[in-house]
């Protein structure tokens, strides 16, 4: 290939290579710029979530209810809409009262004591960017579609905190003594939803040798309720449950009678 041909190819390829290289470099810096803007945006959103958690943390060792007013006052509607689903998914006890619908203007919390360590743990998860995918989720769709589950789980957790935690287990009689009139603190609908759960959740494993409730066991039960592991019991039909239980007991009695009859013959 002579020098003239080489020069022609150089003349042809130079602008093409320059265009390709320029496009690649441009795309690279555009991508970097977009990533930087996205990081900046997410940093601002994380700061909103941390601001909200700091408001709650200010009321440590008090009920979440005490933080409601400042939470709703200090955060704008836009800020709450951005973070509220994330907060609920991370364990903040946001509830919808039975006689209300979800209202972003007035967020409600359940009557639970604020644990500073729990709040710090949530803040750590947010700072480590583990929860970025939970921001901006539509609050109305989330809470309205999950309203029944949110409400029923709160009833279950209320039962754990106000009944099981204050009950005493007698290691000799193997019976649990519940607080007098415990059912009076629940509405009719709440009590009806607790009947199966009341029978299934009451276990001697929740109590120590002195018959006192073990907090770690109760916390585990609360976590299981949040995970939905007890939904079938909280939402179950008590009549079906009672009939099924009666059939099982009858079958067991029948099997026992047959076994005793066979033993007698032998």
Same domain membership, residue 8 and residue 71 = yes
Same domain membership, residue 207 and residue 140 = no
Last residue of a domain, one of 98, 129, 145: 145
- Judged by average pLDDT, the poorest of 16-20, 109-113, 151-155, 179-183 is 16-20
Same domain membership, residue 170 and residue 83 = no
Residue 85 confidence (pLDDT) above 90: yes
Domain for residue 74, yes or no?
yes
CB 93 within 8 A of CB 112: yes
Domain for residue 262, yes or no?
no
Same domain membership, residue 48 and residue 124 = yes
Average pLDDT value for the chain? 84
Residue 123 confidence (pLDDT) above 90: yes
What is the percent of the chain with per-residue pLDDT over 90, rounded to a whole number? 46
3: Cβ contacts below 8 Å, ≥ 6 apart: none
Q: Which residues pair with 109 in a beta bridge?
A: 94
The residue segments making up the domain with residue 217 are: 150-235
Same domain membership, residue 207 and residue 162 = yes
- Judged by average pLDDT, the poorest of 21-30, 42-51, 163-172, 201-210 is 21-30
Domain for residue 203, yes or no?
yes
CB 158 within 8 A of CB 186: yes
Same domain membership, residue 136 and residue 154 = no
Same domain membership, residue 136 and residue 8 = yes
Which is nearest to 155 in space by CA: 90, 231, 77, 64? 231
Q: Where residue 262 falls among pLDDT bands split at 50, 70, 90?
A: low
Q: Give the Cα-Cα-Cα angle 247, 248, 253 (nearest 5 degrees).
A: 95
Last residue of a domain, one of 145, 175, 208: 145
Same domain membership, residue 162 and residue 56 = no
Same domain membership, residue 227 and residue 97 = no
Last residue of a domain, one of 125, 145, 165: 145
Position 31 scores a pLDDT of 60
Q: How many domains does the chain have?
A: 2
Residue 94 confidence (pLDDT) above 70: yes
């Amino acid at each position: 290939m002579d020098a003239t041909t080489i020069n022609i190819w150089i003349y042809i390829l130079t602008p093409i290579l320059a265009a390709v290289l320029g496009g690649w470099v441009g795309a690279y810096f555009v991508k970097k710029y977009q990533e930087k803007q996205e990081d900046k945006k997410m940093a601002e959103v994380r700061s909103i979530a941390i601001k909200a958690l700091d408001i709650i943390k200010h009321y440590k060792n008090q009920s979440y209810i005490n933080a409601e007013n400042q939470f709703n006052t200090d955060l704008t509607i836009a800020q709450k809409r951005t973070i509220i689903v994330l907060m609920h998914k991370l364990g903040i006890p946001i509830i919808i009262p039975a006689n209300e619908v979800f209202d972003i203007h007035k967020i409600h919390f359940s009557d639970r004591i604020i644990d500073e360590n729990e709040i710090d743990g949530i803040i750590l998860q947010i700072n480590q960017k583990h929860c970025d995918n939970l921001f901006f989720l539509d609050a109305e769709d989330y809470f309205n579609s999950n309203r029944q589950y949110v409400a029923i789980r709160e009833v279950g957790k209320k039962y754990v905190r106000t009944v099981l935690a204050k009950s005493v287990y007698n290691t000799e009689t193997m019976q649990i003594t519940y607080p007098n009139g415990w059912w009076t603190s629940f509405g009719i609908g709440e009590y009806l939803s607790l009947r199966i759960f009341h029978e299934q959740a009451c276990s001697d494993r929740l109590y120590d040798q002195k018959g006192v409730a073990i907090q770690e066991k109760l916390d585990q039960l609360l976590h299981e309720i949040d995970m939905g592991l007890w939904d079938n019991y909280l939402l179950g039909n008590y009549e079906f449950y009672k009939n099924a239980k009666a059939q099982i007991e009858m079958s067991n009695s029948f099997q026992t009678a047959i076994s005793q009859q066979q033993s007698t013959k032998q």
